[in-house]
Structure 1
Amino acid sequence: MNTDWVPGVRVAATYERKWLPRDVLAGIVLTTLLVPQGMAYAELAGLPAITGLYTSVLCLLAYAVFGPSRILVLGPDSSLGPMIAAVILPIVVSGGDPAKAVALASMLALMVGAMMTVAAVAKLGFVADLLSRPTQLGYVNGLALTILIGQLPKLFGFSVDGEGLLAEAAGFVRGVADGKTVPAALAIGVGGLIVILVLRRWLPKVPGILIAVVGAIVVTVWFGLTERGVDVVGPLPQGFPPFTIPTVEWSELGLLAAGALGITLVSLTDTISTASTFAGRTGQEVRGNQEMIGIGTANLAAGLFQGFPVSTSGSRTAVAESAGARSQLTGVVGAAAITLLLVFAPGLLKNLPQPMLAAVVIAASLSLADAAGMRRLWRQRRTEFVLALAAFLGVALLGVLPGIAVAVGLSVLNVFRRAWWPYRTELGRPDEVAGYHDVRVYPDAERIPGLVMFRFDAPLIFANARTFRDEVRHLARAEPKPAWILVAAEPITDVDTTAADMLEDLGAELDDLGVRLVFAELKSPVLEKLGRYKMHESLDPARFHPTIESAVAAYRTRGIPA
């Protein structure tokens, strides 16, 4: 049996008994994180808290079968929560039916799963590269700020109506000014947040979220905080949801599909990034297409049992790794523990305060933010800092879904910008090193009279053909006028038909000016393309030289003007 598409079968066949104690212990430790985070991220997505537990169980089981990583942990994610909410809440509208929201979120998960699986079969993992590192950085920082502002009212014990970061921030400020803050809610929320952050910083191996959640429940019951205005989760439904195919209106599919596309891109990028990080630690090889199969089936499974879209989690994976996880049995143990909780003790979390869930989400948003990365970009490369800042503002001011579109658009435009206006320079021979080099780096480099050596650091394509032509024209009209313009063409990895036509016209134009256009170090595949374009008929082979040195020698022999 070929187990390439079902890695879980291969892992089960090669499982070593000595791993069992560590996997079971890691699974129990992981459960203490899965339960509160799953519930908190479900509410972040605008869904009932219980759906976070349903989602956690199904995605863990599905990935254990189809996921290639031995320890990667999937589940509800803080970065996807606002995206899910941005899709389903405008359809459900304020005060809508929770069942409708669940159906929409489940259909969204099915769409994400289908897109991810199709992309895997078509080997489209490269689409993860549509989000460059600077735009990812700006996007996640904007997302972190959006999550933080959105959860502050809940932390203070009240709610606000407002769409977008600015409206929510203004609503929060008005609520505080109008005295809507519930002191008991604020105390328990801030107290829980401090516990999480302090333990994360100083005792990272201690389950800070579990301690904060248990403490919040105990304090709520002991001091009767529900009577002081503190909202709690309430009793959870007992048991597990049945297999359910969600039903939505045809008119809703367009918005769902657009949202699913954005979620798929973010989830894929996050998965490949996280998988690469942990694979490097364990010596595993990242299998991008199989990762997409794993995340796709996890979303399909969640969508068929009243769940919502999921992604990988770096923090939960790190917890599993530090707890000694050796295989995906860790996730299976976590799923089993959550199922037992739902079947036998659904009332265990009924007194969990809502401000505590807000504290869990805020802690996640703070770990998501990377201000240091923004500062590093400012120091290292201002243009990429501007890209990151634009992506940040796109999310913060336009919203999560438009923000991801802005981030992708900026990444693509940055690629085109580099193709349109690549680096170009003249070359000379420095005294201190051999060969010909950039005169900007070596301003005292020797230049040969009458010979201009020009380097263009990009493929020659339709987008930059005019830039190349204008630069060469400028060199040809300089005083004193050169006899030869030698293109150091080693960085030119391609020449399309538009650029080829431009080169033919440019060669003839320079000939009329008495300037000879020649090339050195063109790669063999590029020369073959020029042959197919029949360029040798208009630009004779003597213009093409294997090395810069041979071109210079030819120039010295017959190119120096009388």
Structure 2
Amino acid sequence: MQRPLAGLTKKNLATELTAGVTLIAIAIPLNIGYAQIAGLPATAGLYALIVPTVVYALVVSSRQLVASPDAAAAALVASSIGGLAAAGSADYATLALAQAIICGVMFVLLAVFKLGFLANFLSKPILIGFVGGLALDIMVSQIAKMLGVKIDSGGEFVDKLGGLLSGLGTTNLWSLAISAGSVAVLLLGKRFLGAVPWALVVLVVTTIVVVAANLDDAGVDVLGEVPAGPPALTWPMLDWTVWLALIPSAMALTLVTTAEGLLVSRSYSEKHRYPFHANRDLMAFGLSNIAAGAQGSFAVGSSTSRTAAMDQARSRTQLPSLVLAVGTLLLLVFGTALLADIPSPAIGAVVGVAIIPLLGFRDFADLWRKDRFEFVVGASCFLATLFIGAIPGIVLAFTLALINMAKRAANPAIDVLEGSGDPGESLLEDVPAGSTTVPGVVVVRLAAPLFFANGSVFTSAVERAVTSVEGEPVHDVVIDMEAVTDIDVTGAEEFEALRVWLAGNGVRLSFSRMREPARLRMQKLGLLGDAKIFETNRAAIIALQSGEPNETTPTEKSTP
């Protein structure tokens, strides 16, 4: 089993510690903003950087992935809990804790039963649309904060947008100036001096300006008092019906985090050539979320931006996450007074700039160029997330993904090689150069498993291949089984109907390149009968041409 802090050596210790300081500068201001997005106090974002971060860093297989609440998760927390309790209330915070614990249990179950593959249903268009919709919803709230306009941040997107537009006349000019300057520093600083923690610089400088000029008296909203002290162990006490009501949103959070987290984790492990263990990573997410719910925080996911920042800082271990935990703990114990006067417009600017890439404009343009249907999937998920809600949005996305999958599976590639026509290249791999099949023989390959969605399509293709041949009538059909890895009951029924049809038309049925699992499956389903099984297409052509017996029988083991 991989040891904790794998990859840490004396040579890279200084680099890892420096990266940890950088991570502190990035994570603390962002988590304060994300807690506000979720409708929770700043401490909820900071607590997530202590115990959950330590648990994750010591358990995960990834040497670089940074775990933390992110913008999309925070927005999903707000949209799912907002209908159950008022943002900022004690009941609301308790629901957030319970939701994190449910997420943790789901992650553990995924790891134990090795069900991480379920997240594969969240294709790229779904993630683009879902995260993009959440990001735009967040952006409206952050723009309001940057302008000093009061809106109901826990409301629906349309209500928040309406509140922002109707409140433009109440814009606070000092708030506008702070946010405009902050955005300029963040964007220009990232472009020209990317190594500098500009988010921290912005918060420090704007806080000094607000305090020096007493801008809070001029209407500039500030963070306010942050309770000092480390997180305390707790447990949400709720009726079981409330726990059940939180399951759908926890499931959405779990699936999105699984899809994004495993994808990012795998990409960095491949890039830097260290082991990747998906189930161990899922267990790490599970334990860290349970820890988050048991000590006053909210759902923890993967942070793509912070992971990229650590990669740029040449970090290759989880030590920076431990440094982050220690630094955050020291801040909560000794330095919360420094947080009270941070201006909300600056926090809004930091979060707003951070989520710009999540809006997915370039990704949508790329989908439009590559595949219009997948663009529709992403756009539908985007609009549903905005106007219906996050949970209905992800349900719609799953439905569209299944439709997309069924659409592709129902139209598999079917190659036909016949004596009087042009041979398909994919069937000529083991056929002598310059040759085709003998007259009266047709070779057909289905490049997919045979199941309910494509069974009738395959049988119709074979029937057309038999009846459309000009010249000598077809008397032999060879099914190339190389790509057929499975057959379900509906596919078997379609295949049996094809066998009957071929026999009724005086056509013999043979097989080639059949894999052993497929042979056993077909034997169990009673589809082999007395059909010949050939090792290669070439062997089938030669044998059927010369009248030689088959190379293997249905009861013998054939080589894939």
Check whether TM > 0.5: yes
2:150 counterpart residue number: 159
1:89 counterpart residue number: 82
Instruction: Using the TM superposition, give the Cα deviation of residue 550 of structure 1 relative to its aligned residue in structure 2, in angstroms.
Output: 3.0
Instruction: Using the TM superposition, give the Cα deviation of residue 48 of structure 1 relative to its aligned residue in structure 2, in angstroms.
Output: 1.2
| C-alpha spacing 1:165/1:485, structure 2 compared with 1 (3 Å) | farther
1:29 counterpart residue number: 22
Which deviates the most, 350-359 or 123-132? Answer: 123-132
Structure 2 distance, partners of 1:487, 1:235, is 74
Aligned pair partner of 1:531 in 519, 523, 527: 523
1:549 counterpart residue number: 538
Q: How does 1:148-547 map to 2 (within 5 A)?
A: 148-161=139-152, 163-176=155-168, 179-427=169-417, 436=427, 449-478=439-468, 480=470, 482-537=474-529, 540-542=530-532, 544-547=533-536
Structure 1 distance, partners of 2:375, 2:138, is 22
Instruction: Using the TM superposition, give the Cα deviation of residue 342 of structure 1 relative to its aligned residue in structure 2, in angstroms.
Output: 1.4
| C-alpha spacing 1:97/1:248, structure 2 compared with 1 (3 Å) | farther
The answer (yes or no) to whether the contact 2:40–2:88 under 8 Å persists in 1 is no
Equivalences, count: 540
Instruction: Using the TM superposition, give the Cα deviation of residue 234 of structure 1 relative to its aligned residue in structure 2, in angstroms.
Output: 0.8
Structure 1 distance, partners of 2:313, 2:452, is 55
Q: How does 1:7-26 map to 2 (within 5 A)?
A: 7-8=3-4, 11=6, 16-26=9-19
| C-alpha spacing 1:16/1:515, structure 2 compared with 1 (3 Å) | closer
Instruction: Using the TM superposition, give the Cα deviation of residue 155 of structure 1 relative to its aligned residue in structure 2, in angstroms.
Output: 1.9
Which deviates the most, 40-49 or 369-378? Answer: 369-378
Which deviates the most, 154-163 or 362-371? Answer: 154-163
Aligned pair partner of 1:51 in 44, 48, 58: 44
Q: Give the aligned residue type for 1:183.
A: L
Instruction: Using the TM superposition, give the Cα deviation of residue 109 of structure 1 relative to its aligned residue in structure 2, in angstroms.
Output: 1.1
The answer (yes or no) to whether the contact 1:134–1:387 under 8 Å persists in 2 is yes
% identical aligned pairs: 32
Secondary structure (helix, strand or coil) at the match of 2:83 reads helix
Q: Give the aligned residue type for 2:265.
A: A
2:63 is the counterpart of 1:42: no
Q: Give the aligned residue type for 1:74.
A: A
Q: How does 1:61-72 map to 2 (within 5 A)?
A: 61-72=54-65
Secondary structure (helix, strand or coil) at the match of 1:455 reads strand
Structure 2 distance, partners of 1:437, 1:200, is 55
Instruction: Using the TM superposition, give the Cα deviation of residue 306 of structure 1 relative to its aligned residue in structure 2, in angstroms.
Output: 0.6
| C-alpha spacing 1:494/1:321, structure 2 compared with 1 (3 Å) | closer
Which deviates the most, 487-496 or 197-206? Answer: 487-496
1:116 counterpart residue number: 107
1:104 counterpart residue number: 95
Q: Give the aligned residue type for 2:542.
A: A
Structure 1 distance, partners of 2:540, 2:175, is 78
The answer (yes or no) to whether the contact 1:22–1:326 under 8 Å persists in 2 is no
Write out per-residue CA displacement over residues 46-94 of structure 1, whole angstroms, 9 at most, x where no aligned residue: 111221111111222212322223333221211201111122111113x
Structure 1 distance, partners of 2:39, 2:190, is 27
Instruction: Using the TM superposition, give the Cα deviation of residue 557 of structure 1 relative to its aligned residue in structure 2, in angstroms.
Output: 4.5
Q: Give the aligned residue type for 2:130.
A: Y
2:69 counterpart residue number: 76
Structure 1 gaps, min length 5: 439-443
Structure 2 distance, partners of 1:110, 1:361, is 26
Instruction: Using the TM superposition, give the Cα deviation of residue 445 of structure 1 relative to its aligned residue in structure 2, in angstroms.
Output: 10
Which deviates the most, 84-93 or 148-157? Answer: 148-157
Instruction: Using the TM superposition, give the Cα deviation of residue 501 of structure 1 relative to its aligned residue in structure 2, in angstroms.
Output: 3.0
What CA RMSD, in Å, does the superposition of the two structures yield over aligned residues? 2.8
Structure 2 distance, partners of 1:122, 1:307, is 27
Q: Give the aligned residue type for 2:165.
A: V
Secondary structure (helix, strand or coil) at the match of 2:276 reads coil
Write out per-residue CA displacement over residues 400-454 of structure 1, whole angstroms, 9 at most, x where no aligned residue: 222222233333333333322222243369999977469xxxxx99786544443
Instruction: Using the TM superposition, give the Cα deviation of residue 43 of structure 1 relative to its aligned residue in structure 2, in angstroms.
Output: 0.7
Secondary structure (helix, strand or coil) at the match of 2:484 reads coil
Instruction: Using the TM superposition, give the Cα deviation of residue 479 of structure 1 relative to its aligned residue in structure 2, in angstroms.
Output: 6.6
Structure 1 distance, partners of 2:425, 2:247, is 58
Instruction: Using the TM superposition, give the Cα deviation of residue 156 of structure 1 relative to its aligned residue in structure 2, in angstroms.
Output: 1.7
Which deviates the most, 484-493 or 207-216? Answer: 484-493
| C-alpha spacing 1:180/1:448, structure 2 compared with 1 (3 Å) | farther
- TM-score, L = length of structure 1: 0.88
Secondary structure (helix, strand or coil) at the match of 2:84 reads helix
